[in-house]
Structure 1
Amino acid sequence: MLPKLYLLLTFLCFSFLSNGQNLLGEIEEINHLPNHEFLIKTNRADLKIAFYGPDILRIRYANDDQFAVKDSIMLAPNQPKAIEVLVRKVKKNYLFESNSLTLKLHRETGQITIENKEGKVLVQDHLPASKQETGLKLSKVLQADEHFFGFGERMDVLDRRGRKVKLEVGRGTGRPHIVGAYNVLEANYSPIPFFMSTKGYGLYLHNSYTSEFDMGQSSGQVYTVSAQGGEMDYYVFNGPSFAEILDHYTAITGKSPLLPLPAFGLQVGTYNGGTWGHENELTAHYPIALIKKFRAYEIPVDVLHFDSTWRIFGKSGGSGATSFEWRPQFTNPKQTIDSLYALHLNMVGLHVRPRLDNGFSLDLLDQARKAGMVYPEPGGKGEFVNFFDPKAADWWWENGAMRVANLGIKFFKTDEGSAFGRLANESDKTGPTGEKIKELHNLFPLVYAKAPFEHFAKFNGMRGMNHTREGFAGIQRYPFIFAGDWPSEWQYFEPVIKAGLNIGLSGVGYWTHCMGGFEHVADPELYIRWCQFGLFSPLSHLFGMEHPNYKEPWNYGMEAVNIFRKYTQIRYELLPYIYSSAYQMYQSGTPLMRALVFHFQDDPNVYPITDQYMFGENLMICPVTTKGAQTRVVYLPEGQWLDLWTSKVYSGKQHINILSPLDIMPIFLKAGGLLPSQEVEQYIGQKDIKTLNVKVFPAKSGQFELYEDDGKSMQYQSGDFAKSWLKCERTDREIVLSKSSPTGRYPSKFQHLNWEIFLQNKPSALLINGKQVAIGQSEEEPAFYKNEILYIKAKLKEDLSQEIRIQ
């Protein structure tokens, strides 16, 4: 391939619109750059094309070769490099070809068409670009029956065909706080300029300015992507499956690292008995009594964070800033924190905000201004830590965060990332403003989460964890996200589920919400239904601000306590399944909570479903979102599905009406699904667990990769793990179940394996590791059959493998 290819003069018409001009330019040359990018120069515009793998294509546009020199924080530091591709001229097109994708650049019109290796059109410029418009804009052909999913944490809809969305970090406006928190149509805590199409591709706009995606609202033939400034820089990802697309997208913006294992247990937040307006009622003993009560009720719990009232509201920013000065009720904060760890909590954290403030004995804001560590504002009045500057982030850690890290605090809840350049939550301040802020506003939540995530990891010598409300593309590298302050009202329950589905389809898999809602005293029925969903969310977070109930289950009656305990214990039983699914996300970007369209993108019946989802590979969860409901309608996609409560089997591609009394949230195991679990612990690390339990709904084939590691260190990234395959194969003659010997350097803890196999008929013979075993009727025997379930208990072989043959 020639490093520089000169072409005959011709006209190239871009479908980009910039600064109100419809750009036409004569092609002067195509430069093949040393880094495998292609620079296409015209007399009025420049275009860069690069393939970052066979299935990842990047297209950039700029005037006068003014491309950004560095990639933004949205992109992962270890993203793949550009690869060499074939370039050739065929008829009226210049073709740029990888093994999977072809970009066609039409010589006469400049139309870009992107096809997969089968010649199927994925993305095509819409020509002509006739209107004079302001800003940067892409105009693409909207294909028949094409549907779009993603765009970040949205509360309104799942399928965005025929809709328009504006992406700018913020809670949204338009409704008074007391009436309904915030407008569900506008709430935008974590917008992400990325979508996946049911036609088998994804598109990511690498631009941090406020953007707008019109997915066919204005025209039934075209969708458009525009930004208010910056560079028109976008990626196209080939699938065809959503799993493949997300894998490619997260290769560019980053995979989610594994969280510490305790993060997957129950997490609880507390105002220490003194929420807004009741600060004088808080006590240092409240959080200790809270955890003691969880222990007394035998409700497992692992993580606690103190929310905003732990600290003094300072002299300048009030409740909207962080003074790093404890309230006087905390006479000995270290003793309080040590007492919580003595109750076997694994992690304790604190709520912070990005502004600094002067307390009554600590003038941290003055110090930061003097040292130049706040983002500049007129008159030297800056308050936001300049997290864009690593030196400022280090200063903030050493002079502020270390004051609490030294006491045993292991993570922060970084709140109000949206206040940088916008009206703050508990303040009338807007922070820095101006043209530069338009570029930085959406990026601020990333640098704000990155600083504590990385510093705590280094300080504690373990994996980082950060709990944050706002995000943008790339936030999955500094997990995790929570959905914000939605009231305890039925009307907000399903929108929160939509938020989790949408953000999962946008590459962010670690997500949670305030179970039962954040503010207002919940209807006990709503509280129970919301908590059922919350305990089958990627992370489970219990927190509320209403005084004095908060969201503690005993304040909603003993029925709530019993059901809450039941679902919390199920979650702890399923930790092997949940943790293995989290490792899958680290490898591939596949979220833990998956809209049905993720697995069934060719089934239009699932496109509008916002109250069912897959939890990992094998479980379908169906929250009950209607007050007073004793039944609910469930759509079963293709295949067979086992009701885990009744063991009844249903065929797919149909709707069913299923019983759902208050203590039952419908849960289905898909055919071929294997579901590993373990004994319940009251906190992670309580017991030396050596027995793995596996439920199996046999089908022609099925497999699940069981993952183990130390749950704490970063050594999993260099081979200190144990991975085993659980498999099920079914023929007309027999069912074969197996566990492989583990691979990796970490010693597996499991020595015994108990199976539960759902079978409608009692088998005639059973072999365990080649030896015939009788099938009895008593639970005391190694194998017995009861109520259409075959139970098997067996020690693993010396190499920790096992084979079961059922005939």
Structure 2
Amino acid sequence: MITNTELEYKGDLYPSKIVSFEHDSDSISFYTNKSVILKVTVLRDSLIRFRFTTKGYFSKDFSYAIDKGHSHGYNFLEVTEEDDYYQIQTSKVKCKIQKADMRLCIYDLEENIILEDELGFHWEESYEYGGNIVKMSKASKEGECFYGLGDKATQLNLKGKRLENFATDQYAYQKDQEPLYKVVPFYIGLRNKKSYGIFFDNTFRTYFDFCHERRNVTSFWAEGGEMNYYFIYGPQMEDVVTTYTHLTGKPELPPLWALGYHQCKWSYYPESNLKEVAAKFRELKIPCDALYLDIDYMEGFRCFTWNKEYFPDPKRMVTELAEDGFKTVVIIDPGIKIDKGYSIYKEALEKDYFCKRADGPYMKGKVWPGECNFPDYTNPEVREWWAGLFKELISDIGVKGVWNDMNEPAVMEVPNKTFPMDVRHDYDGNPCSHRKAHNIYGTQMARATYHGVKRFAYPKRPFVITRSAYAGAQRYTSSWTGDNVATWEHLWIANIQVQRLSISGMGFTGSDIGGFAEQPSGELYARWIQLGVFHPFCRTHSSGDHGDQEPWAFDEEVIDITRKFVNLRYQLLPYLYTMFWQYIEKGIPMLKPLVYFDQDDIQTHYRNDEFIFGNQILVCPILEPNSLGRRMYIPRGEWYNYWTNEAVKGGKEIWVDTKFDEIPIFIKAGAIIPKYPVQQYVGELEFEELTLDLYYKHGQEKSEVYEDAQDGYDYKKGRYSFLSFKTTGKENELFIQLHKDGKFDTNYSKYKINLIGLPFKIQTIEIDNVEVAFDKNTLENENYLLVNKDFNALHFMGE
């Protein structure tokens, strides 16, 4: 329980005594005699919103981050008044709010503290801007750990760190550099084996301090706006992440090709250069689904134009690439060149769609085309106009995806790298300055782009990627980690960034494989490919300043390693697609740091390198040069070495020998891993059988496989195939139960089941309780069995 102490700290201001409260449905409002109001809203039993104002009333409630379709509703809510505090209780938690000073403490139902205020809410008057800097501080206990915050180039556990959120074009950033391109003001706390989350939904420049300034205090503050945060109770980290992801929203399924391998460079031009790259992929038999065009495809960097010298007939070129399985993705930036002969500029000018300075003129900044004006994507009318501009690119020319860059927004040759803070924005009818709109500018651009691509790609699914993002951007777009560097340190950073983004709601992310700036060695590129194929978004990209970065820019050994691992990704596409389905249906992150996988094991709390890909594949990248092995932590449970099929018991650190063409990969015992045959691009082959790698476990395990037509929207009408496998291993028996759902009929007719780690020789096989004949030689020598896909139960019996 918080004691009532005199609050004096740095001249800040604090709430005073609560004098009254009102309970209205799911909201409880507490009033002080200093015009401070706290509004507590119970959205779910484990999801509570805390909103403070210091002016006696609340401004209009509006957020770009919150998904309007998120589910809410609670099972139990009771408000009681005691002598010293008010108590709000749900079926999961109790919240006690002190009458003397409005500080609060949240408990579980057994009265264990989950989260307690230190100073709690306080504020500082900001005379420069005529508003408040709003602050919150929480007491932190020994052993408490912190995770999340999206795109941060630092260790996974944020304990002891101080971080800044302000979307910034941070070219060639370094480890621990702040701030970066994305703003996700959401963190997960873990104390006493219980997880909770805090989402501080404030789009101003924000800061988080995890026991950096004061040892046992965690604080967060913003340079304006409201103190408005959501508390999420687990107690499992999985529950926290899932609830946050539901709150801020999930994407729709991407087309399957978007999960293939992508190749990009600044820049592929002219057309003959792009065609050479495409031909080389097919010649070397390295699968590839998408090729990207950077800014040089445009006429003088004007968005929605083509350089007719480099690309005389874009539609023909895009069609010819598509015939060979390549989808074309083009870049579109926010800066619109000031040129009255340029139709896009002229139209935006006539319709008054550009951002303005406070004293009236259009905001002008220098980007690639030279002097530019910038659309105000916070205006719904502008977003609708912007979406309509994609007709020619998508409908007429046949481009399949759009890549939004420079949308922090980035401006050249100014110290702050962005707009002046006095620029005005519509903010969906809530007019404000750039101080408030800066962090969501990129997301609103990506949102408008997504709606345009979706409109004109229909009946196919859209693909959009953005560099800058705020919480909730995952509803519209994938993302990557920005302009990294070809160094071993950046390989380490990329591994952590994508894990962190994944548990921060942004699942569809990856890094520029090989590094954007500078030139990787063949060894570094190979090690990066080996990591990158296990990231949801998989793309090589480089600045091109230091030479080429296609796989064939390196020696034969690196080419072979690239082919081997890209082949593995294409084999694992049904597994990856299922991961994505679990993400959009259930809010489960596609990559799981070890602490997410097993928060009760204290050994996982500071692990950075290893992660779980999906639910059942453990990946540990090689992050140092000249390494043919490494120490790694195997989480608790039973695992199989993917390369040797050797069984390993987890819960310990081990040394793993590896080779240049391998990294440590382990499969969870009991798992069924679905695989396609290797294809050079998604949809190239029709195949007769789906391979299922089954790893024996004594006990039970569940596995899932989701499939559909790989593009389009028929899956929303029930035309999908969902397979749920339950394996039960005994000393001399193995049961496989299969439950099927959905109306989609896959084109294969059989399962090829590879049996791995079986501790007995099979004597009898029953399918749906009927004994069947089988080829004993094939089963004993090659350990696989072919069965028709329409079975419900499979039973192997041994001696």
TM-score (ref. length: structure 1): 0.89
Q: 423, 440, 451: which one pairs with 1:454?
A: 451
Instruction: Name 1:792's counterpart in structure 2.
Output: 785
143-152 or 768-777, larger mean C-alpha shift = 768-777
Provide the rounded CA distance (Å) in 2 between the counterparts of 1:515 and 1:601. 30
Match of 1:368 among 323, 348, 366: 348
Conservation of the 8 A alpha-carbon contact between 2:22 and 2:30: yes
User: C-alpha offsets along residues 288-323 of structure 1, whole Å, 9 cap, x if unaligned?
Assistant: 221121111111111222111111335xxxxxx636
Tell me: CA distance 1:17–1:726, structure 2 relative to 1, closer, same or farther (3 Å).
Answer: farther
Q: Deviations over 1:494-529 (max 9, x none)?
A: 011111111112111110111111132210000111
Aligned residue in 1 for 2:429? none
Change in CA separation of 1:665 and 1:353 when aligned onto 2, cut-off 3 Å: same
- 1:463 equivalent to 2:461? Answer yes
Post-superposition Cα deviations, 1:640-693, rounded to whole Å, max 9, x if no partner, equal 221010111111121111112110111100122221112122211122234121
Aligned to 2:242: 247
| Corresponding residue number in structure 2 for 1:712 | 711
Task: Select which of 632, 635, 653 maps to 2:633.
Answer: 635
> In structure 1, what is the Cα distance between the partners aligned to 2:156 and 2:660?
27
- Residue 359 and residue 406 in structure 1: after superposition, are their counterparts in 2 closer, same or farther (change >3 A)? farther
Q: Deviations over 1:743-793 (max 9, x none)?
A: 1232344421111222254424231303445675644xxx3345xxx3221
Give, in whole Å, the separation in 2 of the partners of 1:183 and 1:668. Answer: 28
SS in 2 for 1:292: helix
Equivalent pair of 1:270/1:287 in contact (CA under 8 Å): no
Partner AA of 2:294 in structure 1: D
Secondary structure of 2:160 counterpart: coil
Q: Equivalences for 1:561-640 in 2 at 5 Å? A: 561-640=559-638
Corresponding residue number in structure 1 for 2:374: 384
Q: Secondary structure at the match of 1:136?
A: strand
**How far apart are residue 191 of structure 1 and its match?**
2.7
SS at structure 2 position matched to 1:24: coil
Distance 2:490 2:316 in 1: 39
After superposition, where does 1:705-784 map in structure 2 within 5 Å?
705-740=704-739, 742-759=740-757, 761-769=759-767, 770-772=769-771, 778-779=777-778, 783-784=779-780
What is the match of residue 671 of structure 2?
A: 673
| 1:447-499: CA deviation from partner (whole Å, max 9, x where unpaired) | 01111112211211132221111111111112201111112122211011111
Residue equivalent to 1:318: none
* 1:32 match: secondary structure: strand
1:443 pairs, out of 436, 440, 443, with 440
Write out per-residue CA displacement over residues 429-454 of structure 1, whole angstroms, 9 at most, x where no aligned residue. 73342271111111111101111112
Is 1:27 matched with 2:19? yes
Cα deviations by residue, 1:231-285 (Å, 9 ceiling, x for unpaired): 0010111111111111110121112321111111111224454xxxxxxxx3112
SS in 2 for 1:433: coil
Assess if the C-alpha contact under 8 Å between 2:552 and 2:559 holds in 1: yes
CA distance in 2, matches of 1:150, 1:689: 41
Q: Percent identity?
A: 22
Rounded to whole Å, the distance in 2 between the matches of 1:150 and 1:428 is: 26
Instruction: Give the aligned partner of residue 215 of structure 2.
Output: 220
CA contact (8 A) 1:285 1:336 kept: no
Q: 1:16/1:712 Cα in 2 relative to 1: closer, same or farther (>3 Å)?
A: farther
Inter-CA distance 189–24: structure 2 relative to 1 (3 Å threshold) = same
Q: Secondary structure at the match of 1:75?
A: coil
Q: Identify the residue that residue 189 of structure 1 maps to in structure 2.
A: 181
Q: Report the counterpart of residue 431 of structure 1 in structure 2.
A: 419
**What runs of 5+ residues in structure 1 fail to find an aligned partner?**
1-10, 274-281, 315-320
Cα distance in 2 for residues equivalent to 1:662 and 1:502: 27
Segment drifting more, 11-20 vs 656-665: 11-20
Task: Work out the CA distance in 1 between the residues paired with 2:503 and 2:178.
Answer: 19
Q: Which residue of 1 aligns with 2:202?
A: 207
**For the structure 1 residues 438 and 211, does the alpha-carbon distance in structure 2 shift closer, same or farther, using more than 3 Å as the test?**
same
2:700 counterpart residue number: 701
| Whole-angstrom distance in 1 between the partners of 2:280 and 2:409 | 36
| Range that drifts further, 596-605 or 623-632 | 596-605
Shift of 1:368: 1.4
Any idea what SS the aligned residue of 1:341 has? helix
Letter in 2 for 1:456: V
Alignment equivalent of 2:478, drawn from 472, 475, 480: 480
CA distance in 1, matches of 2:16, 2:112: 28
CA distance in 2, matches of 1:634, 1:196: 24
**Partners of 2:480 and 2:512 within 8 A in 1:** yes
User: What does residue 312 of structure 2 align with?
Assistant: 331
Q: Write the distance in 2 (CA, Å) between the matches of 1:116 and 1:14.
A: 27
The one-letter code of the counterpart of 1:710 is A
Q: 1:302 aligns with which of 267, 280, 289?
A: 289
Residue 505 of structure 1 is aligned with which of 495, 503, 506? 503
Deviations 1:609-653 (A, max 9, x none): 222111000001111111011111111111122101011111112
The residue correspondences of 1:44-443 to structure 2 (distance < 5 A) are: 44=34, 45-81=36-72, 83=74, 85-90=77-82, 92-127=84-119, 135-172=133-170, 180-182=172-174, 184-199=176-191, 200-271=195-266, 273=268, 282-313=269-300, 322=303, 324-345=305-326, 347-358=327-338, 362-377=342-357, 378-382=360-364, 383-399=373-389, 402-403=392-393, 405-419=395-409, 423-424=411-412, 430-434=418-422, 436-443=433-440
Distance change in 2, residues 1:706/1:467 (3 Å):
same
Q: Distance in 2 between matches of 1:586 and 1:795?
A: 30
C-alpha separation between the residues in 1 aligned to 2:8 and 2:57? 16
Which shows bigger deviation, 464-473 or 612-621? 464-473
Report the alpha carbon displacement of residue 127 of structure 1 after superposing the two structures with TM.
4.6
Measured against aligned partners, the alpha-carbon deviations of 1:524-573 in whole angstroms (never above 9, x if no partner) come to: 00011101111111121122222574321111121111111111111111
In 1, the alpha carbon distance for the partners of 2:135 and 2:483 equals 34
The letter for the 2-side match of 1:104 is K
